[in-house]
């Protein structure tokens, strides 16, 4: 296991053969439009271009809450006239979705919501407060 320790060229001659990128066709992604094109079409056909199913302005909502979860947020909300005001924007929630049941009236501050979430809140006597 100690073979070639301390050897500079490892048996490939003193002029430095096997040390440059000539046998590889270049370093890294060199030649992918030229002499490595056939390798590219077989092994990495999606290397160039973009994903057509993701438009350039694509944004994925990373944090959301359902209307069924509002009762767990209600402990820290302020109450005004019997309805609880919940600020979801301050809690980092980006969107309110409509899954679950609303148990009582909530006034919710959120930047984005679905129509089903709005409908369920209004049926329970609450509303969405948007700026």
38-96 residue pLDDT tens:
999 999 998 998 888 877 777 778 899 999 988 888 876 566 666 788 999 898 899 99
The pLDDT assigned to 24 comes to: 81
- CA 18 to chain centroid, in Å, comes to 42
The pLDDT assigned to 74 comes to: 80
Residue scoring higher pLDDT (130 or 70): 70
How many CA atoms does the CB half-sphere of 103 hold within 13 Å? 8
The answer to whether 77 and 85 are in contact (CB under 8 A) is yes
Given CATH 3.30.43.10, say whether it is the number of domain 64-129: no
The answer to whether 129 and 85 are in contact (CB under 8 A) is yes
- For residue 127, give Cα distances in angstroms to 4, 71, 73, 86, 106: 76, 15, 15, 11, 7
Average pLDDT over residues 106-123: 93
The pLDDT assigned to 77 comes to: 59
The answer to whether 58 and 88 are in contact (CB under 8 A) is no
Domain ranges of the chain: 13-54, 64-129
The pLDDT assigned to 30 comes to: 92
Calculate the average pLDDT of the chain: 86
| Residue 56 CB contacts under 8 Å (≥ 6 apart), including other chains | 50
The answer, yes or no, to whether residue 15 has pLDDT greater than 60, is yes
DSSP tag of 64: E
The pLDDT assigned to 48 comes to: 92
3-state secondary structure of 49: coil
């Amino acid at each position: 296991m100690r073979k070639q320790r301390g050897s500079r060229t490892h048996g490939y001659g003193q002029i430095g053969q096997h040390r440059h990128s000539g046998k590889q066709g270049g370093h890294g992604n060199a030649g992918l439009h030229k002499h490595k094109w056939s390798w590219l079409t077989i092994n990495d056909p999606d290397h160039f271009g973009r994903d057509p199913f993701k438009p350039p302005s694509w944004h994925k909502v990373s944090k959301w809450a359902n209307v069924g979860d509002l009762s767990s947020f209600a402990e820290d909300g302020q109450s005004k006239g019997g309805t609880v005001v919940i600020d979801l924007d301050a809690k980092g929630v980006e969107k309110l979705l409509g899954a679950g049941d609303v148990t009582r009236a909530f006034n919710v501050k959120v930047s984005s919501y679905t129509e089903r979430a709005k409908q369920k809140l209004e049926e329970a006597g609450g509303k969405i407060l948007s700026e």
